[in-house]
Amino acid sequence: MKNQLKTTKPKDRKDRRHINWGRFLFAGFLSATMLAANTMPAFAATTVWEKANEIMKDVYTQILTISTIAAVVLSRPRSLRAPPWCPPPLHC
């Protein structure tokens, strides 16, 4: 009996342990806010295949634009080289 802890019941209201409800409410609010801030909606994520498809379309469009411009430039090279004072049928 000597080594056992003796517990006493609080006789007064001030002797009891105080529960700080403000701290619990703040911890709950902080947890909910952090959970909401750190979640990412699943519908906004794009897959690897969608991104690859987008990149391929972009590259294809750029190649098509460049080849169209090259075809227009190379189709009549003499007309592009003719000086403005030379009459069109002669193409100096």
Quick: pLDDT tens for 35-84.
988 887 666 667 889 999 999 999 999 999 999 988 887 776 555 555 66
Q: Is the dihedral of CA 6, 11, 14, 19 positive or negative?
A: positive
Confidence (pLDDT) at 72: 81
Instruction: Give 91 or 6, the one with higher predicted confidence.
Output: 6
Residue 28 predicted with pLDDT over 60: yes
Instruction: Give 91 or 75, the one with higher predicted confidence.
Output: 75
- How far, in Å, CA of 49 to CA of 55, rounded? 10
pTM of the model: 0.37
